[in-house]
Chain A
Amino acid sequence: MSGRRLFTTPARRAAVAPLLWMLLFFLLPFGFVLKISLSQTVIAQPPYVPVFDPAQGMAALKAAFATLSLENFRLLAADHLYILSYLRSIVVALISTAILLAVGYPVAYGMSRLPARWQPIAMILVIVPFWTSFLIRVYAWINILQHDGILNKTLLALHVVSAPVVWLSTDTAMYIGIVYSYLPFMILPLYATLAKIDTTLLEASADLGGSRLATFWLVTFPLSLPGVGAGALLCFIPIVGEFVIPDLLAGSRSPMIGQTLWLEFFTNRDWPVASAIAIVLLVLLLAPLLVYERMQRRQLEGRR
């Protein structure tokens, strides 16, 4: 019996249920987002027209198509609020990813240099906070950063500052929250590539007279670039659409796009505009999403 064909046909059958599930609950919903982004807002339930009624057949479908419009997208392009919101999200995500790399790389590097039997322990220590609730971790920072919180008390006691500093509702608080929440996502892919680097290469570099620093920049760092890419994408893409962290920690002056979408949807009940925001966000993230998907596929399926 050929090992290569092992399981092939039954394994294909195994794909049926998850494939149908994802088509129905992941792909198909985007069709509805697109459709409603082309609809108009009304004060009704559901709050948009046209509502396609399949019972009326093709005529209704044609009529529904005729009323679709690009009005919501024109609104997004014309209103500075939305454009600024998108820009801010991308800038925040870029800055956060850079900070995450700067913080995560030394930690991942330190982990990969640990004696082999300590490495799994260090890895568990990095993962455990990831398993504790995201919301709780953001909330924990409110405890620390609030006006009479631990941070201000410590700073006052150490005479670093003479009056309490405003931390909450600032960009600083938001960046702290983002870096804190996403740090495991940065460290783990970095560690995975750093731990795989063949140490004989480092020895060879040292034997050839390379200093520790030269070895790092000329050998270790280039070899760790796949991990850098994976970690950066794993953080950048979700941060662009982040809602909870900016909502709880940042000020409300300039919302990120996730907050704007939330506001349009829940507060203004403008579903068509919220859908249009989602479609544009999806288009913006399409390129990084595709790169991420390819990396994920190569990493998970390339090891055979």
Chain B
Amino acid sequence: MKHLSRFNITSLTLGLAFLYLPIVVLVIYSFNASRLVTVWGGWSLRWYAEFFNDAAMLSAAAMSLRVGVVSATAATILGTLAAVALTRGESFRGRTLFSGMLYAPLVMPEVITGLSLLLLFVAVNAERGFWTVTIAHTTLTMCFVTVVVQSRLGSLDRSLEEAAMDLGCDPLRAFLKVTLPLILPSVAAGWMLAFTLSMDDLVIASFTTGPGSTTLPIRIYSEVRLGVKPEINAICTLIIGSIALVIIAASLASKLSSRQGESAAPL
């Protein structure tokens, strides 16, 4: 019954072409020597050089990297804890509220999340900048980590944990020695997802940042509003390239660890 009809092949091909064509166009034009984005002037790396001489853009990139690393790390710790509580703590008071608060931000419009966090920061008179953006990103991305780790924990064979505990491990040790190594690929996938989401976020960062703490998406956005610039194509290509490297590394890592069980959920 697994018949691959012409219709299926066509829809798959068209679908994937639609997903990739714009990115391919963007990457090709980043190597365009011409200042006019739409006129092909031969291959060149001048826009990459331009980016590496653009101090404002570089400092925005550095800011984004810092926010991304700190918030992804915090989100991974909190999200993994939340996933453990949801899959292993059978029932506790406030569980529905807890899971609701973790699933809602996945679809909550960013303008609402951004505005509400900003109003909190203003109310407690927090100085806006690196830390407020980091806290905001941690709040958003820990929910994604929770879902990724939770789907792995849910499909994990529990008899291994039980065996460890029958052999005298206390629950914490059983978790650290048995469960954590087994879910490590999905924890790592969660970290990377959190990191990319943080590097990507424009709306929430715009609300929660302060003067002098511009992130890369905010900087790119203010340039893009003025029109297409070849330098932006170069920056975007660099970002896409680094993400592609990370994904390749991740899939190699998960291939290595796939003998331990089914691989982590992708989202």
Question: Which A residues contact B (CB, under 8 angstroms)?
Answer: 1, 3-12, 14-15, 17-19, 21-23, 25-30, 32-33, 36, 46, 103-104, 106-107, 109-111, 113-115, 122-137, 139-144, 146, 148-150, 153, 180, 183-184, 187-188, 199, 202-203, 206, 233-234, 237-238, 240-244, 247-248, 258, 261-262, 265-266, 271, 274-275, 278, 281-282, 285, 289, 292-293, 296-297, 300-301, 303-304
Contact = CB atoms under 8 A, between A and B. Distances in A.
A216 to B, nearest CB: 11
A248 B16 CA distance: 24
B88 interface: yes
A124 B202 contact: no
Nearest to A126: B19
Contacts of B165: 1, 6
With a 10 A CB-CB cut-off, give which of A15, A247, A261 has the most chain B CB atoms: A15
B119 A271 contact: yes
B1 A202 contact: yes
Interface string B70-106: 0000000111011011111110101000111111111
Contacts of B110: 238, 241, 243
In terms of DSSP, what is the predominant structure of the interface of chain B? helix
With a 10 A CB-CB cut-off, give which of A140, A282, A289, A301 has the most chain B CB atoms: A140
A243 B111 contact: yes
A300 B154 contact: yes
Given A131-B243, A144-B22, A301-B154, A292 B224 contact: no
Given A135-B217, A135-B224, A281-B109, 4 more contacts: A11-B84, A129-B20, A135-B221, A258-B109
Contact of B155 (A142, A282, A303): A303
Interface residues of B, number: 107
Interface stretch (B42-50, B54-62, B228-236): B228-236
22 contacts: A11-B84, A11-B88, A12-B89, A15-B81, A18-B82, A21-B138, A30-B116, A107-B12, A109-B8, A111-B12, A125-B16, A136-B220, A139-B232, A140-B236, A143-B228, A183-B15, A188-B267, A238-B107, A243-B111, A265-B115, A278-B116, A292-B107
Given A8-B89, A21-B142, A304-B154, A289 B4 contact: no
B266 A127 contact: yes
B172 interface: yes
Contact of B11 (A107, A146, A281): A107
Interface in B1-24: 1-5, 7-9, 11-12, 14-16, 18-20, 22-23
Contacts of A278: 111-112, 115-116
Contact of A113 (B2, B29, B136, B239): B2
With a 10 A CB-CB cut-off, give which of B110, B146, B161 has the most chain A CB atoms: B110
A109 B18 CA distance: 16
B112 A282 contact: yes
B112 A17 contact: no
A282 B113 CA distance: 10
In terms of DSSP, what is the predominant structure of the interface of chain A? helix
Contacts of A26: 101, 104-105, 113, 139
Nearest to B225: A248
With a 10 A CB-CB cut-off, give which of A36, A244, A282, A293 has the most chain B CB atoms: A293
Contacts of B20: 129
A130 B19 CA distance: 9
A6 to B, nearest CB: 6
Interface string B186-218: 000000010010011011001100000000010
A144 B88 CA distance: 49
Nearest to A106: B11
B71 to A, nearest CB: 12
B23 A18 contact: no
Given A33-B115, A107-B11, A139 B18 contact: no
Given A10-B172, A128-B244, A180-B22, A18 B79 contact: yes
Contact of B171 (A7, A32, A36, A148): A7
Nearest to A133: B200
B175 interface: yes
Contact of B22 (A1, A3, A141, A282): A141
B15 A103 contact: yes
Given A3-B162, A11-B88, A143 B37 contact: yes
A110 to B, nearest CB: 4
Contacts of A5: 90
Contact of A261 (B87, B94, B106, B115): B115
A28 B139 CA distance: 12
B123 interface: yes
A25 B23 contact: no
